[in-house]
Amino acid sequence: MSVGNILLVVIIYPVLFLLYFLAARETGVKGKPTVLGVTLAETYRNEAEVISLLADYKKSLKRWTLAAFLLPVFFITSRWLTVFITGYMLWIFGAIILIYVPFVRYHRQLRSLKMMNGWFTGKQGSEKTLEGDVWVDMKAAAEPVRMVRPWILAALSVLSAIPVIYEGVAGPVAAVRLDNALILASFASVTWLLALFMIWMDREKAEIISLNSTVNVNFERSKKRRRNMAWTQILILNTATVWLTLLFLHEYLGGMTGFMIWMGIYILLICILGIRCEFRIMKLRQKLRTDGKEQQVYVDDDSRWILGSIYYNPQDKHFMVEKRTMGIGTTINMGSRGGKIFAVIIGLLLVFCVIGIPIWIGLDEFTPISMTVEADTLAVDHVATDYRIDLEDINKVELLTELPEMSRKNGTGLPNLLKGKFEVDGKNGALVCLNPENHLFIRIETQAGQLYLLGGKTDGETEAAYEAIMAYDQ
């Protein structure tokens, strides 16, 4: 059981605590129009059947959350990274499902109770239920609120692309250009996708929280202003992360250690910015709905919410709508054309995470290294890594029977594979590709001063390559 594996598991637990907290809030928050994903006016929430059902839900939620917390015992001690990553990916998605199970069960029970008792129509004092598929405040629609500044998004998108292009075209270490460029592109793509998302969301319909259009317009303006500010800050943070990652990859600012520290800070800041923004919007929504000055409005479209949380409404052409259960922010209208495309993309990403990533790691972990000398060139190949060293460029070569003192800067570190950039005997930037379980390794220093530490599939393959290099020198 490695320290890295333990850390990967530990960082998920705060997420599970947050999911539990959000799921527990589904028992009813003052001003929130739904309880367990069911539109239910305040008038009916003190009914004995509702109180009893919510108490049972809380007990069930605790049991299922505990089960989600205990799942890592089945994979955390595995020696093989492929087994650990497969279990880890399944755990992340499985834990979400486990916490969601009691919500689905009691959502169905509450909705049946609502239908049986007729708790879904008419006026209740200061409350009003609007039934139907799509409700639009026409005055608010005629006064659209636009807060996004496209030129800022364009500038940040270009800035985040520069490190990717630089590394892919002119990275100082040719052998790892592609790997580094892909790492940088993964971060830059967050900026690009979030910028598109912000433009899209800025054009979505206004939320109805009151029969007073002025209240709806003012709320929409405040909501969009807060989200635009928070998301722009996240874009700036992410763009800075792309540039910092470029420096980390080339051993500046602490290298891999600095990268891991920054990742912790980066994730924490994103959570703070996003959650703070959405909770402020939620509090404002609750205040405007419950201040007693306006009639509370409940848009009863339960029939359009599958299991109370998946919005499917082909008659509503909007791609994004306000999320009403198990979280904060927005969700996708799966009934829209964009929603269906999004569902396919998410499905492919899930397949990649649960199947693709373990397969890729398995190839890395169990594919043997190939070491050959052909046409006066030493070739070392392993999955996406290939080193080519012209024998005439070798300044110094040595056959080692044990590995020197070394530490990984970026790359792979497994019991049967060391690959990437390492610090070897105090020298940074050494390129390594070998199986540490073998007993023979070749240390090479080129005329340009580049240090390599290499090994073949077997000790015999490594020794044969060394002999070929020595024969060339003679």
Give yes or no for a contact between 241 and 186, defined as CB atoms under 8 angstroms apart: no
pLDDT at 66: 94
Q: Where are the strands (E) in 270-319, listed by range? A: 296-300, 305-306, 310-311
* Beta-bridge partners for 377: 374, 390
Q: What residues contact residue 85 under an 8 Å CB cut-off, 6+ apart? A: 357, 358, 361
Is 136 in contact with 207 (CB distance < 8 Å)?
no
pLDDT tens digits for 59-109? 999 999 999 999 998 888 888 888 888 999 899 889 989 999 999 999 999
State the chain's mean pLDDT as an integer.
83
pLDDT tens figures, 14-64: 888 888 988 888 887 766 778 888 888 777 888 899 999 999 999 999 999
Q: How far apart are CA 280 and CA 131, in angstroms?
A: 28
Over range 434-459, report the average pLDDT: 93
User: 322: pLDDT confidence band, cut at 50, 70 and 90?
Assistant: confident
Residue 185 has pLDDT above 70, yes or no: yes
C-beta contacts of 58-66 below 8 A and 24+ residues apart? 58/24, 58/27, 60/102, 60/105, 60/106, 61/20, 61/23, 61/24, 61/99, 61/102, 61/103, 63/102, 64/98, 64/99, 64/101, 64/102, 65/16, 65/19, 65/20, 65/23, 65/98, 65/99
Question: 0.85 cut: is pTM over it?
Answer: no
In Å, what is the CA distance from 124 to each residue of 229, 287, 295, 367, 396? 38, 19, 10, 68, 88
pLDDT more than 70, % of the chain: 86
Q: What is the pLDDT of residue 205?
A: 65
Q: How far apart are CA 111 and CA 132, in angstroms?
A: 16
Q: Is residue 115 a contact partner of residue 300, using CB atoms and an 8 Å limit?
A: no
Q: How far apart are alpha carbons 344 and 291 in whole angstroms?
A: 42
Q: Which of helix, strand or coil describes residue 136?
A: coil
Among 16-30, 60-74, 315-329, 370-384, whose mean pLDDT is lowest? 315-329
More confident residue, 4 or 96: 96
| HSE-up (13 A, CA, CB side) for residue 167 | 26
Does pLDDT of 127 surpass 50?
Answer: no
- Backbone torsions φ then ψ of 456, nearest 5 degrees: -95, -170
Are the beta carbons of 289 and 211 closer than 8 angstroms? no
Distance of CA 335 to the CA centre of its chain: 24
Residue 386 near residue 114 (C-beta atoms within 8 A): no
